[in-house]
């Protein structure tokens, strides 16, 4: 099912774990899920908190709810596998920096094109490493007998956010991004 139960505050102050929903004991149960959009934890807990927070913070201006939604998005992504949140943040920072060069800086056309190529190339290199490193290693091993194996865990949604960021860079290059 993709979930497990973590028991916090159980008898004797000991934290216990259950496998695939079997109750082990304890008086306070916290459901930790690989949260999907159709899970009860998302629909009845996460989504209402995010919506209420967004509308409540909307009274403070336009930037505060945007920051709230960005943090909620990172939390949602982190529920899937928190180890990839730094990769996502590094990718966003890299693309923000390239986008800044393309939007705000008055660069020569050749420098703008070089920035776009560097940004798209960097995005595709990261995507290629995560998606195809194992494939290339297996083929090198098959052809040359290198005994090389590469097992890289694939971050959820890496293709989606990589291609979304590439689309942002292309739009920034074309002048289709508001300042």
pLDDT digits (tens, 9 = 90+) for 35-94: 788 888 889 999 999 999 999 999 999 999 999 999 999 999 988 888 999 999 999 999
And the tokens for 65?
A: 């709810």
pLDDT computed for residue 34 by the predictor: 64
Contact yes or no for 157/77 (Cβ under 8 A): yes
Closest among 89, 105, 99, 90 to 119, alpha carbons compared: 99
What DSSP line would sit under 70-95, residue for residue? HHHHHHHHHHHHGGGHHHHHHHHHHH
pTM as predicted: 0.74
pLDDT of 178 strictly over 80: no
Beta bridge partners of 30: 6
């Amino acid at each position: 099912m993709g979930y497990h139960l973590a028991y916090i505050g159980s008898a004797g102050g000991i934290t216990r774990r259950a496998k695939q929903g079997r109750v082990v004991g304890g008086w306070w149960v916290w459901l930790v899920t690989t949260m999907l959009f159709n899970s009860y934890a998302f629909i009845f807990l996460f989504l209402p908190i995010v919506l209420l927070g967004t509308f409540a913070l909307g009274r403070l201006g336009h930037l505060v709810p945007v920051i709230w939604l960005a943090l909620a998005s990172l939390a949602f992504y982190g529920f899937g596998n928190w180890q990839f949140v730094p990769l996502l943040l590094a990718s966003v920072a890299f693309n923000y920096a390239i986008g800044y060069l393309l939007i705000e800086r008055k660069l020569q056309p050749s420098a703008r094109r070089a920035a776009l190529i560097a940004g798209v190339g960097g995005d595709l290199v990261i995507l290629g490493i995560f998606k195809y490193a194992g494939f290339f290693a297996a083929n090198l091993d098959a052809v040359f007998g290198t005994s090389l194996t590469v097992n890289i865990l694939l971050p959820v949604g890496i293709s989606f956010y990589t291609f979304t960021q590439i689309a942002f860079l292309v739009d920034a290059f074309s002048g289709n991004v508001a300042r």
